[in-house]
Chains A and B, each alone.
Chain A
Amino acid sequence: MSNDELTPDEAELLAEFHHLLAEPALWIEPDDALEARVLAAIAAEVEAAAPSGARPQAYQRVASRRRRWLTTVGAAVVGAAAAAAITLVVTRDAATPVDATAVMTGTDLAPGLSGSAEVTAGSSGVRIAIRVPGLPRREDGEFYQVWLKSCDSTQLVPAGSFHDLERAVAWAGVSTDDFPLITVTREQVAAPTDAAQGSSGEVVVAGAVADCPT
């Protein structure tokens, strides 16, 4: 048997599946119009679920990448919490149970500002609905980074990066029992091995889900 021939088992297997390989339904491709309708339908439900007065970010149709898995893009976009600047929209706040609430207070870098952080624990980590209106929007390589911090301030966990905190949802794969402090810092995009990948230390708002031991 030459190297470019299927084995008898392989040929037999594919013959068994020929009826499916020949079926038109398995080759159908959705078109861009369907993508737009699906996104619009979900956007409508997001808006219906949002508290009155909230203005969720409008969904915009983009050219569809036909059928190819985008796991690489998806992982790059959402895999590293401190890398991409994704603006998340808070949804279904009224229906999401809250385990704890922290008052977020502005530091000298954001004097007079205040807000809240509502924490909900789940099987994959904690959801942090954070709202600090009035923070100047950061763009063009600059962003805000939400952190969870241990009581002794020796350990930081990144929880998401944002343009602003008008209404945002952060996520962290740790427990607030161990990391009860919530801080938000000003950050800039940096290369993977750059020391600036860590926290800048420029805390703009801070709060605590629970008291630290004295």
Chain B
Amino acid sequence: MGQPTTPQHLLVAFGAGDEVAVRLLYQQYAGLVMSVAMRVLNDRGMAEEATQQTFLQAWRSASTLDPGREVTPWLVTVARRAAIDIRRREARRPTTALDDADPGDAALVALPPSEDAAWEAAQVRIALDALPLDERTIVRLQHQQGFTHTQIAGQLGVPVGTVKSRSFRAHKALALALAHLREVAS
């Protein structure tokens, strides 16, 4: 468990430039690719550029890709490299004084995530994307926003019990989806 499979015919049609297949593949992977890029660049505009470069590269390479090969790890690698290339390009731009730099500037961030770290984060994103929207929303509000069940219930206008149930199901699914990462690490 850990990643979605892509129908082989979809990959083949994507490589042939089929419009429907291109759109389907983009919609399937764009969120994941953009997450990978964003972790490297910490800038939405540049992450979008990296995402565009990733899908272009995917299309250019599709004819050489073995359709039997799972595309997700390959896309994550391509996305990370595209983001690093953009980061290097930006780092070569005229510099500003360190004191004037935005603390969030990508150039100030330490080394980009390693390939292992990028893949681990990608697995988390894949697990999140597999959740139903209502459960995913609660996970985001809990972890990213730090809200309690009661606060989430108030925000969403649903009973606290509903929030707790959805939270439980979501975290149960996440634990199952991510358990293999802990096994790999150990």
Residues of A bordering B, CB below 8 Å: 4-6, 9-10, 13-14, 16-18, 20-30, 34-35, 37-39, 41-42, 45-46, 56-57, 59-60, 62, 64-65, 67-71, 73-75, 77-79, 81, 86, 88-92, 96, 123-124, 127, 169, 171
Q: Closest CB of chain B to A56's CB: distance in Å?
A: 7
Asked if B144 is at the interface of the complex by the 8 Å CB criterion, the answer is yes
| Interface check B27, CB cutoff 8 A | yes
Is A67 within 8 A of B129, CB to CB?
Answer: yes
* Cβ < 8 Å to A, chain B residues 57-83: 59-60, 63, 66-68
Q: Is A123 a contact partner of B68 (Cβ separation < 8 A)?
A: yes
Binding site for A on B (CB under 8 A): 4-10, 12-13, 16-24, 26-28, 30-31, 34-35, 38-39, 42, 44, 47-48, 51-52, 55-56, 59-60, 63, 66-68, 120-121, 124-125, 128-130, 133, 139-140, 143-144, 146, 164-165, 168, 171-172, 174-175, 178-179, 181-182
* Contact call B143/A21, Cβ cutoff below 8 A: yes
Are A89 and B18 in touch, CB under 8 angstroms? yes
Please indicate the chain B residues that have their CB under 8 angstroms from the CB of A29 in the complex: 31, 34
Q: A78–B7 contact, CB under 8 A?
A: yes
Contact residues of B: prevailing secondary structure: helix
Task: For the complex, give the distance between the alpha carbons of A120 and B139 in Å.
Answer: 48
Contact of B6 among A6, A71, A73 (CB under 8 A): A71
- Asked whether B27 lies within 8 Å of A70 as measured between CB atoms, the reply is yes
Chain B residues whose CB sits within 8 angstroms of the CB of A14 once the complex forms:
171, 174-175, 178
Residue of B nearest to A95 (CB): B63
Asked whether A28 lies within 8 Å of B10 as measured between CB atoms, the reply is no
